[in-house]
Structure 1
Amino acid sequence: MSDYYYSFKEKGFFYKPDTESGDCPTDLIPLTDEHYHGLMQGQVDGKYIEHRKGGPVLV
């Protein structure tokens, strides 16, 4: 199970969301740790995260 999730609707990331509480977006998709950390490192390197329904990508 992944610790990181992405919501296109919220245009944001969630760490270990409480999906049972009903307080999180319904469109969460899991991200691997490698994908999430790659996105964060890409921002450090001057790239942007583009929000797509299929998941975030670096541009």
Structure 2
Amino acid sequence: GARIQEGSLSLMQMAKISSAPYDYQSNKKLFYVSILTSPTTGGVTASFGMLGDIIIAEPNAYI
């Protein structure tokens, strides 16, 4: 799974990761699809997992 250390560097990296799909969507005029599998927790969910235009998850997935 994805693990992040809670600190200022991690928060700055999360901001960079979260801005990447936005730049992709606005510059390329394409949509972003998030596919969430079990388990999807913590940093993945907080950063780019929930930013998709379309969000697909496994049935009964631990999110």
Tell me the TM-score normalised to structure 1 length.
0.35
| Structure with the larger RCO, 1 or 2 (CA within 8 Å, 6+ apart) | 2
Of the two, which has the highest radius of gyration? 2
Which has a greater percent of strand? 1
TM-score, structure 2 as length reference: 0.33
